[in-house]
Structure 1
Amino acid sequence: MSKQSNTQTEPVQDIMARVEKPSRYLGTEINRVYKDPRSVRLHMALAFPDLYEIGTSHFGLQILYHQLNQRNDIFVERVFAPARDLDQQLRQSHKPLCTLESRTPLGKLHIIGFSLLYELNYTNVLNMLALARIPLRAAQRDQTHPLVIAGGPCVSNPEPMAPFFDAMVFGDGEEVLAQMADVWMAWQAEGADRQTLLHRWARLEGVYIPSFFDARYGEDGLQRLQARHSDHQRVKRAVVCDLDKAPFPDKPIVPFGRPIHDRLRLEISRGCSRGCRFCQAGMIYRPVRERSPQRLLAITDASLRATGYEDLSLLSLSTGDYTCLAALMENLMQRCQRQRVAVSLPSMRADKLTPGLMTQIRSVRKTGFTIAPEAGTQRLRNVINKNIQQEDVVAAVQEAFALGWSVVKLYFMIGLPTETRADLDGIIELVTALKRIKGPARRQGRINVSLTTFIPKAHTPFQWAAQLDAQQAKERLGYLKDRLRMPGVQVKWQQPEMSLLEGWMARGDRRMADVIEAAWQKGALFDGWSDAFNMDLWYEALEACGPDIARSIHKERHLDAPLPWEHMESRVNDAFLRDQWHAARQATTIDDCRQGTCHGCGVCDFDELAPRLFDQCPTVTVSDGKPDAADDGITLALVYTKKGPARLFSHLEVAHIFARALRRAGTDLVYSRGFHPMPRISFDDPLPLGMESEGERMWIKVRSGQDSNRILERLGSQLPEGMRIVAGRIIAGGKRDSAPVVEKYTVELMQNDILRHRLEQFFQAPQWPYLRRTHKGKEHRVDLKACIRSMDWREPLHLTMEIGPAGGVTIRPTDVLMSVFQLNAAAAGRLRTVKATARATPSMGPSAEARN
């Protein structure tokens, strides 16, 4: 039963230089965990079916990654959906999809756990399994294959993806996933069969075994599930009762590139009791459970030291409702002010945006300002139970513009139940009113409007509601777009077909699995990305599998009709959802149960499971305030290597890596002035992606009074593999020296008589004209004979050359390789090219303190 992890050394390293953003796939980030796969009992991967930039921002994945890796008997790795270019390279080279940390093929793992956060990622799940050479459907897998499981909010209605998974987790994953790991290890030690493990997993709260249910379809065409086993007929959502005691990483992984959420994210609470009737998260994450301010401040201190982030975001479904928000913000601002760490909040309710809170947010840097009115009229806001008034929105925008914000984002939905033309006109009237508010320096502020189509979701009062079809949505979007064409207003919207497809997945039954697989086979991939989305593929798949499958999904459902997710118990009882559906029709609202009376949703037992709030707010700790703006500091000149995997960092990524490494090293940096202060760091002319260097130059400004030896020592320990400090010193007067005139390079070539012949041709030619095109399309004609100061072929593989500028044009080794040896850009880029150490100048080179 034991499975050996057959680790491949570098299954994709040889193609990294051929793909966009290769740093996505390195797996060597700061704070990542690596273990010898042979030293653990359970080797598994957390898989995210979208690009690295999306998945690495998901805090749920980070929580589970660090929680399980704290155990010596478990090694958890990560894998993300490869972009299309790497997908193509893997298929062409016949290499399987592998984990990031150890490069283990997914098929050699014990368990693969997918995060299902978004319905339009479903085809990516199938593609990742196919790239891993794992059968798509659970029924096709046997003892030799990994167990494939899933979790996330989409498991609220697991049926469209149920046939592809051995097990699915409904609810909070922290406790149940650890329990599943323990059960797996006991099962593995016994050597029992796969069905035995599934039966044991089925006993755990929150675990759904799809193969233990059979789908039946009545004359009405609706799915009814029949349980095969009496002890696994319904699945109750797993809940972490005390969030303050739940694990949360204080050393989260710091991505190399620019993820969608490039900041430290703190989950301050989980759950919401506002009762918005369209909001699935507000229902399935009940009750409200807060983390204590003291715990959050401790996490903040540890995490900022461990990551070097310059932005901090508070994360929850309703951040403004956090009990001690004002005191927490004051403490955070005191901690973050000197370090120039900006604190931001997600979309806030307009009635919670007080002037004091907004003033705190802007004290370091004005981050984004977003409000979600959702509907344009008070009547429709009452229907959806969005208990904010128009005057709250107006007041919040007025205060934002007065405090210096120039852009406000507004979110609205179209197609909400009972919506009329008057409600659409209400959006236009509200935006028009907000547009009249003067922004900074009496200028008009800008309004960004985001429009999405309402999608009914499982376990909400609107689970029975109708959804607009694509044509209806286009008509309403067109009506709004035409009337919102005004200066200073920008309108964005989601494609109606994308919303329609999401609705099919959100309320579909098990027959949708055939449609998903058929669409994937036709090429559907990354459906959540507008530039990749192709609805025609889905229409073709639907036609092939049976048009009736989706025909009634977007229509209103009868309250007594069977629902595909009936066997999944969200803990919110059906009577409450029905009452709220009727209340919506009457535009009757209910208040937040934290401030009012219990509405009987059925979630709380008021023993173990109940709202957990913290009303003991911490005393604000006063720091030494802002840094002295008058201190211009001192300049450090450094030389660093960029070799091995570091060659795959872009220049922007290198700048990011150093900025955060300096923060982690505790360096007191000098910042620019103005709206968005940035650390004073500069570099020589950046290397092309894929080129190595034994010595690149950079300059940093640090505040006076710091030990430069200590800075260099600490900085060196914070750099990723392939980057190290080789020299450094203080520059008197802070003046940068000029760059070397001639650079020396070494290129590894395969021995080839043709290459030797072309090199001889170059030596014999009196001139060598070359047309160099920049990435902006400009053309420069140069004589390479004037640029190349020396060139020598050392047997058997090394070509050395010294290159200088000519006519103000910088020539790279790839230019020489393409022109002299007639290689194409791809072939030239694949050759290992190393730039020699930067030449020392009187103000550059190792100082005595650096040598010591």
Structure 2
Amino acid sequence: MTIAERDISSSGFEELALLSLSSGDYSCLPELMVRLMNRFADQYVSVSMPSMRVGTLTPEIMDQIKRVRKTGFTVAPEAGTDRLREVINKGISEADLLDTCRNAFAMGWKLIKLYFMIGLPTETGEDVEAIADLARKARNEAGPLAGRVQINVSVGTFVPKPHTPFQWERQLSLAESRERINRLKSILPRKGFKLKWHDPDQSFLEGVFSRGDRRLSTLIEQAWRSGVRLDGWSEHYRLENWQRAAEACDMDLDMYLQARNPEKPLPWDHLDCGVEKDFLVREYHNGLNRVYTPDCRTQGCQKCGLCDFKTIYPVVHSADRPPAVKAGHPSIEKTRAGNQDRVFSCRVHYTRLGDSRFFGHLEILQLVFRALTRAGVHVLYSQGFNPSPRVSFSPALSVGVESECEYFDLELPRPMTNQAEVAARLNMELPPGMRVTGIGIKPEREPEALLVEYTVTPVNALSDKQRESIARFLAGEHHFVERVRKNRKKQLDIRPLVHSLETEDSALTISLISMQGKAGINPKDILREVVGLSEEEVLLARIKKNRVAIFPANA
């Protein structure tokens, strides 16, 4: 609780996550969830958790999660059949999963994510097809609302990791992984379902490095010398680059994914993780024979060798349970509804200069939301399943464009009487380049037309030909350009939208007319269509929005 209070206050984040290898196994989770939600629900801070084992995500925990907003709901059956879940000692049944889905749908969730693995030991084609069958059964648990809910199925290739009971098993080949994923694509219904999968090419290399030996250091160096970079990003990752590097090192990568002989040493045997190898062998055979190994926290020691029962031993904490608070608790409803009978609005003017011009519009939204929270500015929130701050922004700027005259509008539960103090607090929380220049009253109506002035500094001085092109444009009455909207081509006359276009030394001053509800243009359009700059020159040009004024609609 102390960490959560400190970090939410200092970050302004609207969500906190409880992360661990198995969050549902934390014995005090129900009590902690109640305390977290009692503390943060009025601030609209939600709590999320990673994928949970079926059975640990109880109705009590789900009831707490939904008090602010319904964050992601992910459960991990991991296998499509009870038989295969017994092999991996999952300890849950299909009935447990369906019961969890039914509770989630009954509490209002419309999307459930299911995580599975392919290539588990003893997996058959029937087990793969059962993944699609289980997803269909899960969606049917929504009952009459089944047509309005969605199941996202996520699939990854099983990597037999070191120091686990299945470290001697083989990993699926690339061809096998692709074949099983394609099979799921063909049998999973399109409506109401979405299939996502981890790239088999990436799983292949993950298996190599998980199960490899010290010779892989040579492979890493060779790949680096061959130009391999940023492979954590899928757009840069190419398995063939690693395969070529392996050929140069005279290495067979497929060898690392093959089954291992339990009687022979493994590359990682010299590393001691605390769990005895005899226990892993026993668990390996128990898995193949579908013999369940219970949880040592509650069912006694399973003799894995990790605990010495002096300094290391299982500890299960319990806590006195505070009374659970439902979503309809008066303290929460007061914030959501009672204080929204009267709404007070104001407009905050700010700049976007320097490096802050590289923020995208969605990033600006998050920066402002979090700055408001850190500065202690309490805004109203929308209602419904996913409350969000009632803050609206001026039209989005293109990335790379600076501005002296941006704004956002706030809806507040009470009038703001200390504008200068609020501006100072916000400026302490906003990043460099973003600075509040004033806070005033929000206009009752937005003007029908605005005159927006920009200064543009091209990377190169304008040529005589480009200046002549500008002069011809200004002398003409029309200048049509082609626009594509929703796959339809349209002709737009941009000449009436340019109020003035002046050149001075190496800079341009452009004044554009922007009208509500009508197609408009931006300075980049002028640079491209009128001045004749190349796409690269357009991107490199320095553009700054200087001022905005009301433009008479009949002018």
Would you call these one fold, judging by a TM-score over 0.5?
A: yes
Tell me what 2:331 maps to.
624
Aligned counterparts of 2:208 and 2:470: Cα–Cα separation in 1? 66
Tell me what 1:719 maps to.
430
| Matching of residue 452 in structure 1 with residue 161 in structure 2 | no
| Matching of residue 333 in structure 1 with residue 37 in structure 2 | yes
Tell me what 1:461 maps to.
165
Aligned counterparts of 2:122 and 2:150: Cα–Cα separation in 1? 30
Task: Report the CA distance between 1:719 and its aligned residue.
Answer: 0.9
| Matching of residue 400 in structure 1 with residue 111 in structure 2 | no
Aligned counterparts of 1:311 and 1:692: Cα–Cα separation in 2? 30
| Matching of residue 589 in structure 1 with residue 292 in structure 2 | yes
1:652 to 362, 368, 383: 362
Secondary structure at 2:55 match in 1: helix
Query: What are the superposed Cα offsets for residues 827-846 of structure 1, whole Å, 9 maximum, x if unpaired?
Result: 123222221133489xxxxx
Contact 2:159 2:171 in 1 (8 A): yes
- Provide closer, same or farther for how the CA distance between residues 753 and 364 of structure 1 changes in structure 2, counting only shifts above 3 A: closer
Tell me what 2:532 maps to.
822
Aligned counterparts of 1:644 and 1:836: Cα–Cα separation in 2? 14
Alignment of 1:437-586 (within 5 A): 437-439=141-143, 441=145, 443=147, 445-485=149-189, 487-520=191-224, 524-527=228-231, 530-547=234-251, 549-586=252-289
Contact 2:452 2:514 in 1 (8 A): no
Range 751-760 or range 625-634, more displaced:
751-760
Aligned counterparts of 1:788 and 1:615: Cα–Cα separation in 2? 70
Query: What are the superposed Cα offsets for residues 360-393 of structure 1, whole Å, 9 maximum, x if unpaired?
Result: 1112111221111112233322221111122211
- Provide closer, same or farther for how the CA distance between residues 516 and 720 of structure 1 changes in structure 2, counting only shifts above 3 A: same
Amino acid corresponding to residue 624 of structure 1 in structure 2: S
2:377 to 667, 678, 689: 667
Aligned counterparts of 2:74 and 2:518: Cα–Cα separation in 1? 47
Query: What are the superposed Cα offsets for residues 529-572 of structure 1, whole Å, 9 maximum, x if unpaired?
Result: 5554433334333333325x334322211123222222322222
Aligned counterparts of 2:377 and 2:545: Cα–Cα separation in 1? 29
Alignment of 1:231-270 (within 5 A): none
Alignment of 1:662-741 (within 5 A): 662-709=372-419, 710-731=421-442, 735-738=444-447, 741=450
Contact 1:331 1:620 in 2 (8 A): no
Task: Report the CA distance between 1:817 and its aligned residue.
Answer: 2.5
Amino acid corresponding to residue 514 of structure 1 in structure 2: T
Aligned counterparts of 2:146 and 2:92: Cα–Cα separation in 1? 27
Task: Report the CA distance between 1:763 and its aligned residue.
Answer: 7.6
Alignment of 1:164-175 (within 5 A): none
Query: What are the superposed Cα offsets for residues 723-747 of structure 1, whole Å, 9 maximum, x if unpaired?
Result: 111121133xx72432762112222
Amino acid corresponding to residue 444 of structure 2 in structure 1: K
Contact 1:684 1:697 in 2 (8 A): yes
Amino acid corresponding to residue 345 of structure 1 in structure 2: M
Secondary structure at 2:434 match in 1: coil
Secondary structure at 1:743 match in 2: strand
2:455 to 732, 736, 746: 746
TM-score (structure 1 length as normaliser): 0.59
- Provide closer, same or farther for how the CA distance between residues 411 and 441 of structure 1 changes in structure 2, counting only shifts above 3 A: closer
Alignment of 1:70-469 (within 5 A): 297-439=1-143, 441=145, 443=147, 445-469=149-173
Contact 1:324 1:615 in 2 (8 A): yes
Query: What are the superposed Cα offsets for residues 497-539 of structure 1, whole Å, 9 maximum, x if unpaired?
Result: 3322221221112223333444455565555555544333343
Aligned counterparts of 1:329 and 1:356: Cα–Cα separation in 2? 9
Secondary structure at 2:71 match in 1: coil
Task: Report the CA distance between 1:317 and its aligned residue.
Answer: 1.3
Contact 2:14 2:46 in 1 (8 A): yes
Query: What are the superposed Cα offsets for residues 271-328 of structure 1, whole Å, 9 maximum, x if unpaired?
Result: xxxxxxxxxxxxxxxxxxxxxxxxxx11111111111111221111111111211111
Tell me what 2:347 maps to.
637
Aligned length: 540
Amino acid corresponding to residue 580 of structure 1 in structure 2: E
Aligned counterparts of 2:122 and 2:129: Cα–Cα separation in 1? 14
Aligned counterparts of 2:225 and 2:304: Cα–Cα separation in 1? 42
- Provide closer, same or farther for how the CA distance between residues 385 and 488 of structure 1 changes in structure 2, counting only shifts above 3 A: same
Aligned counterparts of 2:506 and 2:126: Cα–Cα separation in 1? 75
| Matching of residue 790 in structure 1 with residue 503 in structure 2 | no
Task: Report the CA distance between 1:419 and its aligned residue.
Answer: 2.5
- Provide closer, same or farther for how the CA distance between residues 705 and 598 of structure 1 changes in structure 2, counting only shifts above 3 A: farther
Aligned counterparts of 1:440 and 1:724: Cα–Cα separation in 2? 52
Amino acid corresponding to residue 662 of structure 1 in structure 2: L
Secondary structure at 1:404 match in 2: coil
- Provide closer, same or farther for how the CA distance between residues 338 and 480 of structure 1 changes in structure 2, counting only shifts above 3 A: same
Query: What are the superposed Cα offsets for residues 645-676 of structure 1, whole Å, 9 maximum, x if unpaired?
Result: 11111222212211111122222212222232
Aligned counterparts of 2:164 and 2:98: Cα–Cα separation in 1? 29
Secondary structure at 1:834 match in 2: strand
- Provide closer, same or farther for how the CA distance between residues 706 and 747 of structure 1 changes in structure 2, counting only shifts above 3 A: closer
- Provide closer, same or farther for how the CA distance between residues 763 and 435 of structure 1 changes in structure 2, counting only shifts above 3 A: closer
Aligned counterparts of 2:78 and 2:466: Cα–Cα separation in 1? 69
Amino acid corresponding to residue 454 of structure 1 in structure 2: F
Query: What are the superposed Cα offsets for residues 415-467 of structure 1, whole Å, 9 maximum, x if unpaired?
Result: 21222344335434433432332257464643222222211111111111111
Tell me what 1:615 maps to.
318
Secondary structure at 2:43 match in 1: coil
Task: Report the CA distance between 1:759 and its aligned residue.
Answer: 6.9
Amino acid corresponding to residue 574 of structure 1 in structure 2: K
Identity of aligned residues (%): 38
Aligned counterparts of 1:783 and 1:624: Cα–Cα separation in 2? 54
Amino acid corresponding to residue 559 of structure 1 in structure 2: P
For structure 1, which runs of at least 5 residues remain unmatched after alignment?
1-296, 842-852
Aligned counterparts of 1:797 and 1:478: Cα–Cα separation in 2? 57
Tell me what 2:508 maps to.
799
Q: CA RMSD in A?
A: 3.0
Contact 2:98 2:138 in 1 (8 A): yes
- Provide closer, same or farther for how the CA distance between residues 758 and 425 of structure 1 changes in structure 2, counting only shifts above 3 A: closer
Task: Report the CA distance between 1:720 and its aligned residue.
Answer: 0.7
Aligned counterparts of 2:545 and 2:129: Cα–Cα separation in 1? 63
For structure 2, which runs of at least 5 residues remain unmatched after alignment?
none
TM-score (structure 2 length as normaliser): 0.88
Tell me what 1:79 maps to.
none
Secondary structure at 1:301 match in 2: helix
Secondary structure at 1:372 match in 2: strand
Aligned counterparts of 1:616 and 1:407: Cα–Cα separation in 2? 32
Aligned counterparts of 2:476 and 2:550: Cα–Cα separation in 1? 32
